[in-house]
Structure 1
Amino acid sequence: MSEEQNLRFKIASGEPEFEQIFRLNYKTFVEEIPQHPPNPEKRLVDRFHHENAYLIALDGDQLIGMMAVRDKRPFSLDEKLGNIDRYLPPGRRICEVRLLAVLPSHRNGMVFQGLLKLLLDHGLSQHYNLAVISGTVRQQKLYKHLGFVPFGPLVGAKEAQYQPMYLTLEEFQENARPILNVPSTADRALNPLSFLPGPVSIRPEIRAALDQLPVSHRCDKFKEEFAFIKTLLCQLVRAQRVEILLGSGTLANDVIAAQLSLMSGRGIILSNGEFGDRLVDHAGRFGLSFDALELDWGGVFDCEQVRSTLDRHRDAKWLWASACETSTGVLNDVEMLKELCAGRGIKLCLDCISLIGTVAVDLQGVYLASCVSGKGLGAFPGLSMVFYHHDVAPQPSRLPRYLDLGNCAAHQGIPFTHSSNLLSALQAALKRYDTQQPFAEIAELSDWVRPKLRELGFQILAPDAHASPAVITLALPGEISSQSIGDLLQAAGFLLSYQSEYLRRRNWIQICLMGDCSRQSLVALLTELRKVTGTGN
């Protein structure tokens, strides 16, 4: 592994990191640059410690570099020069950057570059558009190259002199781009950042897995890998069995509807959005007998609503619902549905198409559940799955061949031609789920970006307590067109979901955290959102 791959850049948190900051602060600003007197503890706590955000570089768990960012006035430069506003462009949101320090053993450019990237991301997230520093006179050439503008007289002792300087966000983004490898708008338009619910942004290792020579679905190698992928899928959701189909989620739900058509008796369908309505449509096309419990889009089913519905329809044999209502971002309470159905002997069926891969899922107690490769699992679209636990028999006289789950099971899941390439990509995607880390990453990104969106004035449709971490539906005010905003974002290289008819009709736009998403890409998106909507200025 290269040195660069070992490095991590983050906002400091926790006492172990702060203690290392105090000691690096001492090494740099007492021992190397004599700004403070020595002390026997060999640690230096900054006087603004509790107001600082520390941007740090770690090699493993060792602190190797840092800088501190603070936005509370007066700044240290205010104390040295008086109110510095007279030197600065007006109307700016200002922060002061201090305490830049890198261990001598790591002064090779990579740490400084990483800290600058983190500074840009942090500054954008906090809406800063101007930074002030005291730049060492020994590095004036570098600072000017980055776009810093000197102001006022030198500060500091004779042996450690500093030039006050400021840097605007625009200059930083423009001048630092070659150093930070920050894509321009033109570059991003050619390589857009995807926040779609599918197709999602694909990780490099998954792309590489797709780019292999195709293998016949009849050869032993294919069958072995196919069986292994089925095992990985079942382990992921605690299901006993799964069939992998060549088609979209609509196919998987049609297969579920086909299985329900073999049962006698009525069912119940829950709908609180577009994809609940589609389950109603699936059931209608198969001539199923059912009653529907429908809420306004964005509504949340509570236990009493569902219980009273089941009490009114005591002849119900099955219940079908979307676990994650993708149109609104609402997570329906799967555990509550499992408990209610189990107590009445009702077979629970779930559309898990936007759920699996984004949160931990337990399908024990679920009769049939649908999923796809190209959403939460982060692979390419084209494969869908139906999970189940029971024996299923072929139904040649009652079901079309392609919709017959029992026919798939009877042929070990391979009754027809399959795509070895799509399966290889899916297998590569599933490798990430050896731990709970993918779910934690999505939750962390979601928890970070939701308040940022609200700060910009956006209304998030799903209440936080019932929200998917991976689907954020924004209900825009009438004066802002989702179509226009979506088009502008797309032109700038950001792909959001807004073109579906049901979204256009309601003036909604969606940010989805599936596939290869990062804090850096979200920071860039928020910056562009502010620009195209004129919010948060």
Structure 2
Amino acid sequence: MRGRKIKAQTGFWHNAWRYKREEPSLEKILMIPGPCDVEQDVLLEMSRQVVCHYGTEWTNFYNQTCDLVKELLNVAGDVFIVNGSGHLALESMVLALGERNDEIGIVDNGNFSHRMIEILDTYGIKPKVLEIEWGKIVTPEQVDEFLTKNPTVKSLALVHSETSTGVLNPIEEIGRITKKRGIIFAVDAVSSAGIVPIDMESDGIDLCATASQKGIGAPPGLAIVAASEKGLDFIRKRKKPIPGWYASLSIWDKFRREQASFQPYSITMAVNLVFSLNKCLKAIKEEGIAQRYKRHNDIASMLRMGLKELGLNIFCKEAEATPAITVVEIPEEIGTINLINHLKNKYDILIANGLGKLKGRVVRIGHMGKNARLVNIMALLRGIEEFLVQ
């Protein structure tokens, strides 16, 4: 035993799972904060013959996929889907938030919200920062006070589901504040879109960045940015171009309008990724976002109950936790790397270490999309219990 009181191996989880491990391979159960495992019918879309990335037939399919994203996020403006990771979507979103001398507000309460500051700094843009302790949400009252103290801030950006700390920031309440003040509200929903209901129109969200490989459940490789009518108007009325080219929403918007019926983007589109994204979006629609949210919440609750049964602590308050991942504290004498390697080598399950100031202090467990299933949670808890009693 590793100097910590835990449940005996004859406990509840011991006989909950029998896992037959095959020979080691690159394929693991991806219980990391993304990407997640992909459904077989979605993978089959990737094996389709490559089609031309322009022309009426393809553009109709691409636009249908954009419409499915618009429906998922309830936005009346437009959606841009481009080859790239969630970071491309994030960079495109934050660069659109203002001119070089405009004041941009950033809520910094985790690794990925801090990444927005780093991106802006690369372009010589210094935002106003509302710093919140890692592991805590930002409250509407804190946002209101911050904006009162910084009346020249024209836009505010935050991360919805912060996968470095496990919190889910209250975008609905914050959106009401930014809407009332008339400022642009931008949300990183890379790990929440497709899991947590997001209503851009009702919540006053003007720009929303996400990606294909997390809550939506498709393979990695597509960056997605949705813009409200207000967000589009904000971008189009800029006096100076957005810095860069590939990450510029002005460029994306230009091609979207000028080549709307033939090739509504400036690149060779990863058509098979769009096939898979379309399949996932239709599956989400069929399941229903409310039911999907409930499924993820139920799985998250079961996992956290099991972790607490094993004597481990959740890093943030459970009432403030995202249903996409769980961040759990690991005692120093146990070691995060030791636990990660045990699960990988014996159970073919991958979980992730902490990021930034939390590296070596926590592990991050993803339960998104296909992986939000009881069978995965049982296997994981069985492996953790076995490790703890060694």
Percent identity over the alignment? 25
Instruction: Read off the aligned partner of 1:520 and give its amino acid letter.
Output: V
Question: Structure 2 matches for 1:233-272, cutoff 5 A?
Answer: 233-240=69-76, 241-262=78-99, 265-272=102-109
Q: CA deviation at 1:249?
A: 1.3
- One of 324, 328, 338 as aligned partner of 1:484: 338
Query: Are 2:271 and 1:420 aligned?
Result: yes
TM-score by length of 2: 0.87
Q: Does the 8 A contact of 2:104 with 2:153 survive in 1?
A: yes
Q: Following the alignment from structure 1 to structure 2, what is the Cα–Cα distance between the partners of residues 320 and 523?
A: 37
Question: Does the C-alpha gap of structure 1 residues 504 and 461 become closer, same or farther in structure 2, counting only changes over 3 Å?
Answer: closer
Which stretch has the larger CA shift, 210-219 or 495-504? Answer: 495-504
User: 2:48 aligns to what?
Assistant: 212
Instruction: Read off the aligned partner of 1:383 and give its amino acid letter.
Output: L
Q: Does the 8 A contact of 1:489 with 1:495 survive in 2?
A: yes
- One of 274, 286, 294 as aligned partner of 2:131: 294
Question: Does the C-alpha gap of structure 1 residues 394 and 502 become closer, same or farther in structure 2, counting only changes over 3 Å?
Answer: same
Q: Following the alignment from structure 1 to structure 2, what is the Cα–Cα distance between the partners of residues 442 and 369?
A: 21
User: 1:201 aligns to what?
Assistant: 37
User: 1:522 aligns to what?
Assistant: 377
User: 2:200 aligns to what?
Assistant: 363
Q: Following the alignment from structure 1 to structure 2, what is the Cα–Cα distance between the partners of residues 514 and 128?
A: 24
Name the SS of the counterpart of 1:510 in structure 2.
strand
Q: Does the 8 A contact of 1:249 with 1:384 survive in 2?
A: yes
Q: Deviations over 1:141-186 (max 9, x none)?
A: xxxxxxxxxxxxxxxxxxxxxxxxxxxx9xxx8xxxxxxxx65123
Aligned pair count reads 364
Question: Does the C-alpha gap of structure 1 residues 332 and 503 become closer, same or farther in structure 2, counting only changes over 3 Å?
Answer: same
Name the SS of the counterpart of 1:270 in structure 2.
strand
Q: Following the alignment from structure 2 to structure 1, what is the Cα–Cα distance between the partners of residues 367 and 116?
A: 24
Q: Does the 8 A contact of 2:91 with 2:116 survive in 1?
A: no
Instruction: Read off the aligned partner of 1:380 and give its amino acid letter.
Output: P
Q: CA deviation at 1:493?
A: 3.2
Name the SS of the counterpart of 2:114 in structure 1.
helix
Q: Deviations over 1:466-508 (max 9, x none)?
A: 1101110011111111011101111123433324653763421
The unaligned stretches of length 5 or more in structure 1 are: 1-90, 94-123, 130-168, 174-181
User: 1:57 aligns to what?
Assistant: none
| Structure of higher CA gyration radius | 1
Question: Does the C-alpha gap of structure 1 residues 250 and 458 become closer, same or farther in structure 2, counting only changes over 3 Å?
Answer: same
User: 2:316 aligns to what?
Assistant: 462
The unaligned stretches of length 5 or more in structure 2 are: 1-7, 257-263
Instruction: Read off the aligned partner of 2:221 and give its amino acid letter.
Output: G
Question: Does the C-alpha gap of structure 1 residues 307 and 493 become closer, same or farther in structure 2, counting only changes over 3 Å?
Answer: same
User: 1:405 aligns to what?
Assistant: 249
Instruction: Read off the aligned partner of 2:254 and give its amino acid letter.
Output: A
- One of 61, 72, 75 as aligned partner of 1:225: 61
Q: Following the alignment from structure 1 to structure 2, what is the Cα–Cα distance between the partners of residues 185 and 327?
A: 29
Q: CA deviation at 1:216?
A: 1.4
Query: Are 2:161 and 1:329 aligned?
Result: no
Q: Following the alignment from structure 2 to structure 1, what is the Cα–Cα distance between the partners of residues 184 and 364?
A: 32
Q: Following the alignment from structure 1 to structure 2, what is the Cα–Cα distance between the partners of residues 389 and 211?
A: 34
User: 1:379 aligns to what?
Assistant: 218
Name the SS of the counterpart of 1:411 in structure 2.
helix
Q: Deviations over 1:264-322 (max 9, x none)?
A: 53121101110111111122222224211112210221222222111111111111111
Q: Following the alignment from structure 1 to structure 2, what is the Cα–Cα distance between the partners of residues 92 and 321?
A: 42
Instruction: Read off the aligned partner of 1:516 and give its amino acid letter.
Output: K
Q: Which has the higher contact order (CA 8 A, sep 6+)?
A: 2
Question: Does the C-alpha gap of structure 1 residues 337 and 499 become closer, same or farther in structure 2, counting only changes over 3 Å?
Answer: same
Q: Deviations over 1:374-424 (max 9, x none)?
A: 011010000011110133449895532212212222222421110110000
User: 1:120 aligns to what?
Assistant: none
Q: Following the alignment from structure 1 to structure 2, what is the Cα–Cα distance between the partners of residues 321 and 193?
A: 30
Q: Following the alignment from structure 1 to structure 2, what is the Cα–Cα distance between the partners of residues 92 and 261?
A: 57
Q: Following the alignment from structure 2 to structure 1, what is the Cα–Cα distance between the partners of residues 133 and 99?
A: 31
Q: Does the 8 A contact of 2:98 with 2:104 survive in 1?
A: no
User: 2:327 aligns to what?
Assistant: 473
Q: Following the alignment from structure 1 to structure 2, what is the Cα–Cα distance between the partners of residues 190 and 420?
A: 25
Name the SS of the counterpart of 1:477 in structure 2.
coil
Instruction: Read off the aligned partner of 1:377 and give its amino acid letter.
Output: I
Q: Does the 8 A contact of 2:209 with 2:225 survive in 1?
A: yes
Q: Following the alignment from structure 1 to structure 2, what is the Cα–Cα distance between the partners of residues 310 and 509?
A: 34
Query: Are 2:191 and 1:347 aligned?
Result: no
Q: Does the 8 A contact of 1:266 with 1:290 survive in 2?
A: yes
Instruction: Read off the aligned partner of 1:524 and give its amino acid letter.
Output: A
Name the SS of the counterpart of 1:509 in structure 2.
strand
Question: Does the C-alpha gap of structure 1 residues 345 and 261 become closer, same or farther in structure 2, counting only changes over 3 Å?
Answer: closer
Cα RMSD after superposing both structures: 2.4
Please state which structure has a larger fraction of its residues in strand: 1
Q: Following the alignment from structure 2 to structure 1, what is the Cα–Cα distance between the partners of residues 173 and 81?
A: 27
